[in-house]
Amino acid sequence: MPSLAAHMDSVPPSGIRRIFELAQSLDDVVFLAVGEPDVEVAPHILEAAAAAWQADETNYTPNGGITPLRAAIVDKLASQNGMVVDTEQVWVTNGGMHALFLAMTLVLGPGDEVLLPDPGYSTFAMNARMISAVPVPYTLRASGAFLPDLDELERLITARTRMIIINSPSNPLGAIFPKSVIEELLAFAKKHDLWILSDEVYECFTYGALHTSVASLDTDDRVFSVFSLSKTYALTGARVGYLVTPPGMAPLMRSAQEAIVSCINTPAQLAAVAAITGPQDHVVSAANHYRDNLAAATELLRELGIEYLEPSGAFYLWVNISYATNGDVAEWAERFLLEKRVAVAPGSAFGRHGEGWIRLCVAADARDIETGIRRLPRPRLA
């Protein structure tokens, strides 16, 4: 049998998926591990998708997506994100993950380095390894309010550094970078002539903090922005996201899309038009639901004396369980699942500096959240 490409051995597995798949084989599990919205899809979105199938809207679309969807996204970016772009900068993708991969593929070659957050979304490092690039983590520490350290970033720069990834609101932290931090990161990228990849998938779920789209402050056309309908509209399985590129990349993007997926399925795109242009009440309702769940969960964690990061976005809680993990939170999470029937994401799945922490997803029934948290081991008294 011929050998696989040498770089494939360096692609890390997903520690989240490992827990998820093990949980699927067990009974009576409380699922708090995977970022799956627990709210229903709004009826008008489902009706648009069903109508598209019934009308046999199943042909190829342009590589970038159908015109009504791209136009709707352009309007949305202008009104909600402060981003003024043209249609040829908007590319409909197979979810946010495809958008991330596309952007990284466009600018990173073998051996090129990309700065990415640690803790940070595991797919960042996986994508880099898939294209033979080198992920270089920058640390988000509790002592620094989980914000980037500009001095550390300067030390990490080499001649091979090509891109920095910014994720706000953050998965797994639920943190939002203030506008001042975004401005500092833009200045840093300009100083070192870096591309920026901004993951803004959780843009619609913020709690007392303002979300700033990185590209809204960009004056040098160096930002790729990633958005998704998966979380906002509970359409994870529909696989619709979009990549917003700097100007002038349309010819290259057409080739890249054609080589990878050609286009996204037509009924899903028509559902996306309905989602973006239709009533947004269900998005507001979902945000309130997650806010209530976060409030109840943090109150319970305080009652139990368990440390956590106060969330300002997304629908995750970053919880310090290091007192119970004996230095291996991945092993602890698997044992916790087998013994207590609660699935949580081990912090080490998001990078080395996630060791000792877990991510709880509160897009779940409030009773399940309470049950899962109450099954956590209590901290030892000093």
Q: What's the pLDDT tens digit per position in 28-77? A: 999 999 889 999 999 999 999 999 999 999 999 999 999 999 999 999 99
**pLDDT at residue 381 in the model:** 65
Of 249, 273, 313, nearest in space to 90 by CA:
249
Residues 185 and 286 grouped into a single domain: no
Name the nearest CA neighbour of 204 among 65, 373, 87, 363.
363
Nearby residues of 58 by Cβ (< 8 Å), 6 or more positions away: 265, 266, 267
Q: Point out the domain boundary residue: 277, 301, 321.
A: 277
Q: pLDDT: is 165 or 1 the higher one?
A: 165
Mean pLDDT for 272-292 is 98
pLDDT of residue 382: 46
Angle, CA 62 vertex, CA 56 and CA 64 arms, to 5°: 120
Is 1 contained in some domain? no
Rounded to the nearest angstrom, the gap between the alpha carbon of residue 286 and the centroid of all alpha carbons in its chain is 17
d(CA 200, CA 211): 9
CB atoms within 10 A of CB 370: 15
Residue 380 has a pLDDT of 80
Judge whether 175 lies within some domain.
Answer: yes
Sort strands 342-343 and 345-346 into parallel, antiparallel or unpaired. unpaired
Count of C-beta atoms within a 10 Å radius of residue 328: 14
- Same domain? For 264 and 313 the reply is no
Distance of CA 195 to the CA centre of its chain: 19
The answer to the question of residue 200 being in a domain is yes
Question: Helix, strand, or coil here: 296?
Answer: helix
Mean residue pLDDT of the chain comes to 96
pLDDT at 351 over 80: yes
- Taking only the tens place, the pLDDT of each residue in 232-270 is 999 999 999 999 999 999 999 999 999 999 999 999 999
pLDDT of residue 8: 87
Q: Does residue 258 share a domain with residue 300?
A: no
The pTM assigned to this predicted structure is 0.95
CATH code (residue 328) = 3.90.1150.10
Of 375, 381, 379, the C-alpha closest to 360 is 375
- Provide the domain count of the chain: 2
**Parent domain of 33:** 6-41+281-374
Residue at a domain's end among 238, 262, 277 = 277
- Is there a single domain that holds both residue 307 and residue 335? yes
| Mean pLDDT for the stretch of residues 103-125 | 97
Q: Inform me whether the pLDDT recorded for 335 exceeds 80.
A: yes
Q: Are 228 and 261 part of one and the same domain?
A: yes
Q: Is residue 76 part of a domain?
A: yes
Residue 295 pLDDT more than 80?
yes
Q: Edge-to-edge strand order for the sheet containing 90-93?
A: 90-93, 241-244, 223-228, 195-199, 161-167, 113-118, 134-139
Shared-domain flag, residues 175 and 201: yes
CA 308/CA 305 separation, integer angstroms: 10
Give the residue from 212, 200, 362, 371 showing the smallest Cα distance to 287.
362
Same domain, 255 and 365: no
Q: What is the pLDDT of residue 146?
A: 94
Domain identity same for 27 and 107:
no
d(CA 190, CA 370): 46
Share of the chain above pLDDT 70, in %: 99
Residue 182 binned pLDDT confidence (cut-offs 50, 70, 90): very high
Check whether 22 has a pLDDT greater than 90.
Answer: no
317: Cβ contacts below 8 Å, ≥ 6 apart: 174, 294, 297, 298, 301, 308, 309, 311, 359, 360, 362
Which of 219, 242, 277 is the C-terminal boundary of a domain?
Answer: 277
